């Protein structure tokens, strides 16, 4: 069988599709990826063919802002996200994607949950399709904006408009039960799948890491653009008052030469390390609440301090806290360095948080594997 994977040109959106793509290929199927040209590095490192189609992230942002104005970017409004994912991208990518797909001739299409090009292509070519979802229960205002944008593009092409922005035959849902929002998607068969931290391709040498010392290891992992380097440094200096070892992620060109002035024996600054390796030996993680980091840490039974700065991140954080596996500190006055340090100390000193995270880990371990899901999709599509 020939399976074509669709993704927006965002690494965090593509990575959740990799476990199924890898398993499909292991099971003897031909797999390719349709996304923007900038995704070539990660796609080709997996030994997969890339069909380069559609605009890059910068063009999507610019096009969305041109249509709705700068105010739409504030807090990533529903209108901005609808234009970014389901407006501008559909308008600029669909025709080329249809040409590429017709030439490649897929038997099935798999799309990540914010890619709406793949399902439209599948509907046009009349091939079965699956959407890789992280949570079907988007807030109503986001769902309404996305559905309206998607539906208008289907109607323009003479296709039946979907009742929900996520459409197709199956919804592969990687959200563990305790973090679910309770949403259902009409017309889609839900297939749960175990989330897992991103792993490097088979045969890739492991990244050299600092040795464990016996002290708790605290990982700080969130965006560290130039505007956030000072914040990261001050947070690490605050956390260094605890009897812990620190690990922090930075981009390759933003590693400060002096290591933020911290003891090099107690702080490890890393660039891109696959999450499966990055999470090794971690006792507590501090992050912004993205789904990939949330699920990856939960799969390892690691409690978290979450500093969400978007509504979607706040949703995950609140569910994680309700499950007893973390502490939420919304960005702003509550998320001072001192508050983050106190929250980390609270988690380290109260075994209930680790117990809550381990309950999530066990729940995730009971979910079907990517291999099982890949086989089920093929059997259902065949």
**Residue-wise pLDDT tens digits, 154-177:** 999 999 999 888 999 999 999 999
Question: Which of 44-48, 99-103, 256-260 is predicted least confidently?
Answer: 256-260
- What is the DSSP secondary structure assignment for residue 86, as one 8-state letter? I
pLDDT of residue 225: 45
Q: If DSSP codes are grouped into helix, strand and coil, which group holds residue 131?
A: strand
Supply the mean pLDDT for the chain.
90
Model confidence at 35: pLDDT above 60: yes
pLDDT of residue 77: 83
Tens of pLDDT, residue by residue over 300-309, are 999 999 998 7
Mean pLDDT of 355-369: 98
Rounded to whole angstroms, the Cα distance separating 106 from 5 reads 10
pLDDT of residue 209: 84
Model confidence at 224: pLDDT above 50: no
Under the banding of pLDDT at 50, 70 and 90, the label for residue 182 is confident
Question: Which of 12-16, 219-223, 279-283 is predicted least confidently?
Answer: 219-223
CA-wise closest residue to 145 among 85, 102, 75: 85
Higher pLDDT: 316 or 377? It is 377
Question: Which of 15-19, 245-249, 258-262 is predicted least confidently?
Answer: 258-262
Under the banding of pLDDT at 50, 70 and 90, the label for residue 255 is low
177 is written with which tokens?
Answer: 């039960």
Most confident range, picked from 44-58, 63-77, 135-149, 255-269: 44-58
CATH for 217-365 is 3.40.50.2000
- The residue with tokens 């995730």 is 364
- CATH 3.40.50.2000 residue ranges for the chain: 2-194+367-381, 217-365
Rounded to whole angstroms, the Cα distance separating 177 from 330 reads 24
CATH for 2-194+367-381 is 3.40.50.2000
368 is written with which tokens?
Answer: 């079907």
Mean pLDDT of 313-340: 88
How many Å is the maximal CA-CA distance in the chain? Answer: 63
Q: If DSSP codes are grouped into helix, strand and coil, which group holds residue 171?
A: strand
**What are the CA-CA distances from residue 19 to residues 110, 186, 198, 364, 374 (Å)?**
12, 25, 8, 15, 9
């Amino acid at each position: 069988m020939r399976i074509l994977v669709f993704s927006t040109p965002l690494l965090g959106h593509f990575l959740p599709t990799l476990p199924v793509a890898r398993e499909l290929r292991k099971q003897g199927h031909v797999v390719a990826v349709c996304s923007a040209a900038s995704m070539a590095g990660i796609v080709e490192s997996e030994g997969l063919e890339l069909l380069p189609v559609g605009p890059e992230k910068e063009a999507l942002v610019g096009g969305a802002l041109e249509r709705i104005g700068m105010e739409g970017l504030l807090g990533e409004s529903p209108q901005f996200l609808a234009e970014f994912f389901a407006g501008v991208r559909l308008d600029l990518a669909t025709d080329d994607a249809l040409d590429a797909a017709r030439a490649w001739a897929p038997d099935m299409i798999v799309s990540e949950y914010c890619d709406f090009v793949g399902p439209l292509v599948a509907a046009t070519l009349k091939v079965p399709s699956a959407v890789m979802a992280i949570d079907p229960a988007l807030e109503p205002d986001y769902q309404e904006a996305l559905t309206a944008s998607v539906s208008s593009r289907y109607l323009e092409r003479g296709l039946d408009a979907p009742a929900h922005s996520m459409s197709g035959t199956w919804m592969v849902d990687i959200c563990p039960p305790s973090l679910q929002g309770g949403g259902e998607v009409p017309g889609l068969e839900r297939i749960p799948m175990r989330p897992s931290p991103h792993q490097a391709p088979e045969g890739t040498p492991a990244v050299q890491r600092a040795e464990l010392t016996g002290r708790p290891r605290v990982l700080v992992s969130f965006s560290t653009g130039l505007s956030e380097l000072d914040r990261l440094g001050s947070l690490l200096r605050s956390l260094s008052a605890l009897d812990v070892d620190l690990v922090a992620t930075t981009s390759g060109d933003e590693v400060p030469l002096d290591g933020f002035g911290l003891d090099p024996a107690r702080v490890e600054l890393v660039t891109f390390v696959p999450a499966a390796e990055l999470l090794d030996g971690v006792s507590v993680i501090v992050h912004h609440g993205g789904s990939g980091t949330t699920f990856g840490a939960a799969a390892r039974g690691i409690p978290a301090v979450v500093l969400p700065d978007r509504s979607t991140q706040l949703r995950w954080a609140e569910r994680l806290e309700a499950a007893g596996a973390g502490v939420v500190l919304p960005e702003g006055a509550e998320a001072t360095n001192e508050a983050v340090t106190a929250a980390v100390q609270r988690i380290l000193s109260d075994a209930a948080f680790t117990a809550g995270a381990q309950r999530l880990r066990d729940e995730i371990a009971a979910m079907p594997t990517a291999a099982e899901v890949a086989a089920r999709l093929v059997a259902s599509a065949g």
